[in-house]
Amino acid sequence: MRNNKFKFLSYLLVFVLISILFTACGDTGSKETESTTGAVTTGQSSVATTTGVEEKKIDPLGKYEPGIELTFVRNNDSVQFSGNDSFDNNVWTQTLEKDLGIKLKHLWVAATTDVWAQKLNIAITTNDIPDFIVTTSAIEFKRLTDAGLLADVTEVYNNYKLPLLHEILSAAGDIPFKSAIIDGKMMGLPISGSVSDKCPVLWARKDWLTKLNLPEPKTIDDVLAISKAFTEKDPDGNNKNDTYGLAVNKDLYQKVGGNLSGFFNCFHAYVYEEYGYWLKDSTGKLVCGAVQPQVKAALQKLQELYAAGQIDREFGVKDETKIHEMMNAGTIGMTFGPMYTSLRLNDSLKIDPNADWRPYPLVSIDNEKGMPQSSVAVNNYIVVSKNAKNPEAVIKLFNYWCETRFGESCTPEVFEKLCRNKDGVQIFKYFPYVLGRPDQNLVTHREIMKALETKDISKMNPGIMDSYKKVDSYLNNGDVTNYGIARVFGPGGSQSVLQGYVDRGLIKISEFYGNPTPTIAEKWSTLKDMQLQTFTRIIMGDAPISEFDKFVSDWEKTGGEQITKEVNEWYAAQK
């Protein structure tokens, strides 16, 4: 009998990155000093009037005297506080007020995503938004823009950005910036995450492969053979029929554990992005990946795996938390997932000290290369209210963040004060938005590998130093609490797999990166639900594989045909 009675666990993931920043323009209403008073170095630039006469010096990190207030709202994304700290009074708010003369004030904080949506809707409806916002979706950005509530930040960004900020915002190329341009105006700055970090990886129990004398996965046939053996050959050695070959969660191609996006990619199928994964067809037009013939072949194979008992019969009611629990307990031996999947698997070693999850590149169903999917589409934008008195202050905030987190000002003392975890509290999350370098994880991996070889850490960034010490602690001291992070950044880690994707030019990026079209905004949620329900029924055998053809037809009739037309109109306008 399979043991399906597991206690649900809560996992908190420290995600190393994302990316972006902000902008603004106009009269400051306050006097700026010629330099900052903090530990951060600064640079100045001149702004000329239309007559060519220099009007004033602009200091991208200048302190306001007297100080100003900057209002903000945020989604409480698992922020925890130490002692008497709060959103409006903590080491970050105190430092920003001391060094920049900027007093942050939260108008409201949403405890959940549903509350965020409700509060933001009211703010838009009543034309009552704070000085700046970080949107959680491209649709929110579009609504704020359409409502005429946002400032054009082109000039203020160009005037106030520091080189490091611009370097970080430009790391993903110019496509994300194009998505923020409305009628020739930059209406916000896009937060473009790492292209490589979005790519799926295949994770498998290396100790089980060794025990069953199986090769590491190089082809789709290897993956299928591993799934069968992990199910039928008692890899945990308990003489019970209680293991599954492949993890699948109820959301299919979303979340972490049991994410099937990578499985579909092995069949050259691309089924999910926030607003569809869009590919060029033979005529050069864009088509939605979820309705292409390759998807049918992948679904057929998943249906076979399910029928053979290699996928949990009850996956349709199990979320990612349950899947992680099963993987940690030694019930599932293989999963497709993101590069940070191992951070959810630390408990594996508590139950089985020999447990060894390893990341592998995606394989292919044929002689063509397996190409992992990714996207440069943007959901998060930092936007400034058109009524903000000091729009440039937003740029200053993120200049300061970049210099203290990634620049020469990131000394061990500054990092200790503003960024390090303290008593389990992530101090860096106190900042309004954790802007990261899109390439930071690859940089961290390369620096750690170099340091492991040379033993020279004298010039290492304090943030990277933290990760290096954890990797070293696991490799040389056997500290299993750092197992997960070692499997990300250490030798043979997931970042080495992603580096291979980059070096070999394998990453396949969705061709659509624009804001949601009118019909996407109206119909996409319905189409997404239709897709999930149909694919789940097919995998579970509740519907024949021919149901996919009906899904394609229904998809087109329910808005897909019109969306395809709108996406191609957008695409033509980019040329």
The model carries a pTM of 0.79
The string of DSSP letters for 280-348 reads E-TTS-EEEGGGSHHHHHHHHHHHHHHHTT-S-TTGGG--HHHHHHHHHTTSB-EEEE-TTGGGG-TTH
Task: Give residue-wise pLDDT tens across range 380-411.
Answer: 899 999 999 999 999 999 999 999 888 888 78
In 10 A of CB 280, how many CB atoms? 11
The residue count for the chain: 575
Helices then strands (H, E): number in the chain?
A: 21, 20
447 in Cβ contact with 459 (< 8 Å): no
Q: What are the structural domains, with CATH classification, of the chain? A: 31-193+378-430 (3.40.190.10), 201-371+509-573 (3.40.190.10)
Confidence of residue 82 (pLDDT cuts 50, 70, 90): confident
- Cα 555 to Cα 211: distance, rounded to the nearest angstrom: 46
Task: Give residue-wise pLDDT tens across range 430-462.
Answer: 999 988 888 889 999 999 999 999 999 988 888
Strands 102-110 and 68-75: parallel
In 10 A of CB 146, how many CB atoms? 12
- Cα 443 to Cα 344: distance, rounded to the nearest angstrom: 22
**Nearest residue to 307 (alpha-carbon basis) of 531, 544, 1:** 544
Q: What is the pLDDT of residue 14?
A: 33
- Cα 173 to Cα 491: distance, rounded to the nearest angstrom: 29
The string of DSSP letters for 38-102 reads SS-----EEEE-TTS-EEEEE-TTPPEES-EEEEEEEE--S----TT--SSSSHHHHHHHHHH-E
- Cα 50 to Cα 57: distance, rounded to the nearest angstrom: 15
Calculate mean pLDDT across residues 311-339. 95
- Cα 205 to Cα 233: distance, rounded to the nearest angstrom: 14
Q: What is the pLDDT of residue 194?
A: 87
Percent of the chain with pLDDT over 70: 90
- Cα 569 to Cα 231: distance, rounded to the nearest angstrom: 48
Return the half-sphere exposure (C-beta side, CA atoms, 13 A cut-off) of residue 14: 17
Q: What is the pLDDT of residue 42?
A: 37
Q: Between residues 513 and 233, which one has the greater pLDDT?
A: 233
Which residues 6+ apart lie within 8 Å of 529 measured at CB?
Answer: none
Calculate mean pLDDT across residues 414-426. 78
